[in-house]
Amino acid sequence: MPAEHVRRVEVLGYQAIAITDHADSSNMDFIIPRLMQAAKDLNPYSKTRLIPGIELTHVPPEMFAELVPRARKLGALVVVGHGETVTEPVIPGSNMAAIKSGVDILAHPGFITLEEAEYAARKGTFLELSGRKGHCLTNGHVAAIAAQAGAKLAVNADAHGPGDFLTAEKAKTVALGAGVDEAKYEQIRNDMENFVKGL
């Protein structure tokens, strides 16, 4: 429930939270308008801004080009592509298709290639360092490839329930554990803050 999530992260000191529930062509027109309504209702009363978004999940790579603009037209301010995590049977080619279609964040991109990361750098797509069990297994690889390609990184809880949200200390641990140094972590924080301010 958005109200509960917003309150829980407000207590943790979050400035904003994007709720990006899993979706495909069958349910995004249901999810996004309801998140927009929740943002309209809750934002006047909370120190934490709710940002409506969506995560396109397990969709055929060929559908990203159609679904990303449709999600934005429906009102999603943040569009996430479900990347080729090593823990799920994501269709090969999803990473590049999501990046080419203009997603804002490529979640848990697994063993992303240098070519994909370089394309992400050109498109301004953030690559996720995940705080989620399983998805985090390739964080070190993602951080190293992003550094090589000049791609931006985002530290994300990939929360699926109220107990999954990262504290500031835990988010830093996720980044440092992936091999990111303190200076790079500050850059990640600044990049994400600037992204959110632009929404």
pLDDT tens digit string along 87-111?
A: 999 999 999 999 999 999 999 999 9
- CA distances for 87 relative to 17, 41, 136, angstroms: 25, 36, 10
pLDDT by residue (tens digit) across 2-27?
999 999 999 999 999 999 999 999 99
pTM, two decimals, is 0.97
| Rounded distance between C-alpha atoms, residue 52 and residue 21, angstroms | 9
Average pLDDT of the chain is: 97
Q: Where are the domains of the chain?
A: 2-197
pLDDT at 161: 86
**What pLDDT, on the 0 to 100 scale, is given for residue 163?**
85
Can you list the residues of the chain whose pLDDT is less than 70?
none
Handedness of CA 49, 186, 165, 23 (dihedral sign): positive
CATH number 3.90.330.10 is the correct assignment for the domain at 2-197: no
| Residue 50 structure tokens | 């709710």
